Structures are given as C-alpha cells and as structure tokens.
A and B are shown apart, each in its own frame.
Chain A
Amino acid sequence: MTIATSTELICFLVLSVVVVAGALGVVLLSNIVYSAFLLGGVFMAVAGLYLLLNASFVAAAQVMIYVGAINVLILFAIMLVNKREDLKAIANLTTRRIVSGGVCLGLLALLVRVVVTTPWSLPGPAAVGEEATARIGEHLFTDYLLPFELASVLLLMAMIGAIVLARRDVLAADVVTGEAADQGLIEKARTPLLLERRSS
C-alpha cells in the first residue's frame, strides 16, 4: 500500500463521513440556519470527492454554483421567511417518521444490493485525468450542443419566472388601457389572500 493510495483512502473516508454526517444533520437538526450551513459543508465535501475523481472542472463548478449561489439563495430565503412559529401538532408523527425511515432504509438496502452484486465492467478505459476540462469543452460544443443551448434557455426562463413569482410591486398604469392602477386596492387585495380559508 503506497503512500499515494493510503492518502487517497484517508481523503475518501474523511469526505464520505463528512458527506453522510452533514446530510443527516441537514435533515435532523431543528434549527434551519444550522441546516443551511451544514448543507454548504456537504457541498464542499462533495466537491472534494469530485477532486478525488480527477474532475477539477466539475469540482470548481460545484463550489461556485452550489456553495456560492444555491446555498446563499437558501440562506436569503431563510432570512426572508424566518418566523419563529410553533408548528401545529399532527397525529402519529413518530409513527410516520418510523414508517418513512423504514421505507428509506429499504430503498437503501435495494441500492446497496444492486451496487454490490452487479458485475461492473471494470476496469474501464484509462481515465483522461487532467485533460478532463478540455474534453468537457469539446463535448459541450460538439455532441452535446443542443442540451447546452437548451440549458441556457432553461436558465433564462427560470430567471424570468423567479422574478415574476417573487416580485410584489405592480405596474403604475394598466398596460392595456393606460389608466392609472389603484395601488391601494391592489395592495389590499395582495395582503394574505388565503388566510381566511385555512380554518376550513
């Protein structure tokens, strides 16, 4: 066992423990802010696993997009909706949790069985290693060009959709008739629309 393989082994074990323990913390901790920061840790550890797999470009993308964008977005959402509220008790909560935990453990057992028993065709072709970034670029602009362009359209649609869904202010004038919109009426109608129906 050379020093390179033992280093790889130690890195892999540490990163996997961080990933699994962090994920458990994300779903089990009661404070949502701790969950969000643990989620950032999980994303960083997953990026470390990608580095172990010789995928430096995807690791960098993971850090930039997941930790830099998605995690920050989640933190902003927590700050915007972070109201301390006592959740209404529901019946058989513990039973529900145990049953769903059993279902998830069953799914895990199924996946583990598939992973262990399937004869994977190993070893595959030699890995390209550091050349991976250039290969990804070639793929994106040759045989995966259509999904690449579709992804950019999807991002544009998601951006516009998020803006439309989350914005609150309305136009000062009606687009069709040009008359001034009654801001007070709109604001009144926009304050919690669905509150009264909650009790029914």
Chain B
Amino acid sequence: MNDLLSTIPSLQAYLLVAAMLFCIGVWGLINSRNAVRVLMSIELMLNGVNINLMAFSSYVDGDLIRGQVFAVFVITVAAAEAAVGLAILLSLYRNRVTVDMEQFNLLRW
C-alpha cells in the first residue's frame, strides 16, 4: 500500500484526473440548457486536454517539453474561442431573449 501510494503522482494519475475532467465536460456540454454553462463545459474539456499535454510533457518528453508549448497554444485558442462564443451568445440573446439551448433551433430544419 505504501509503495502504491508513493507512486501515485505519476503519469497515470494525471491522465486519470484529466479523463474525469474531460468526461464531466462532455456531460455538461450535452445536458446544459443554459448557453453560458455550455461554454463553461467547453473550458472544462480544454483544461482536461491541457492536463494531458502537461503530464506527457513532464514525464515522457522531459528534456524538450513540447507539450508545454502546445498547452500555451491551447490556452490561446481557448481565449479566442471564449471571446467569440460569448459574443455570439450576446447577439443570440439580443434576438431571442433567452439563453435556453432548446430554443436555438434556427438552423435546425
């Protein structure tokens, strides 16, 4: 038990946390009815991916740390995505006067 515990902050442990974060994000993305919460779930998923990248860069690619560079790019794209997503949400709210995802069916048949 002690040996097992001493190896816990390992690559696998980080990957498991990232997998849980990603799956919670997917569930929230599917089930949220508030559009802002959908954007929050997307941020959760991006964070799960980032934890994966950072864990691999630290444990497998320790001398080149390319994963950290990719994580910086992911953070950049996430910032752009959040800005555009919230702008779309604002103009949608202005036209629909609701944030309910079920009401946003303009492009659905």
Which residues of the other chain, A, contact B34 by a CB distance below 8 angstroms? Answer: 32
Asked if A90 contacts B102 (CB within 8 A), the reply is yes
Cα separation A124 to B64 with both chains bound (whole Å): 11
30 A-B pairs, CB-CB below 8 angstroms? A1-B2, A5-B9, A16-B17, A32-B36, A49-B51, A54-B58, A65-B76, A65-B78, A74-B82, A77-B36, A83-B97, A88-B100, A88-B103, A100-B30, A111-B19, A111-B22, A115-B16, A121-B60, A122-B59, A127-B63, A128-B63, A139-B65, A158-B79, A158-B81, A162-B84, A162-B87, A165-B90, A166-B86, A192-B94, A194-B95
Cα separation A22 to B54 with both chains bound (whole Å): 20
Cα separation A65 to B94 with both chains bound (whole Å): 27
A172 within 8 A of B: no
- A-B residue pair count with CB separations less than 8 angstroms: 262
Assuming A77-B90, A151-B77, is B17 touching A35 (CB within 8 A)?
A: no
Q: How many chain A residues touch B (Cβ–Cβ < 8 Å)?
A: 92
Within 8 A of A (CB), among B1-32: 2, 5-6, 8-17, 19-28, 30-32
Proximity string of chain B (66-86) to chain A, C-beta cutoff 8 Å, 1 when within and 0 when not: 101101110111111111101
Proximity string of chain A (82-121) to chain B, C-beta cutoff 8 Å, 1 when within and 0 when not: 0101011010000011001100110110011001100011
Asked if A140 contacts B40 (CB within 8 A), the reply is no
Cα separation A20 to B95 with both chains bound (whole Å): 36
What is the distance, in angstroms, from B27's C-beta to the closest C-beta of chain A? 4
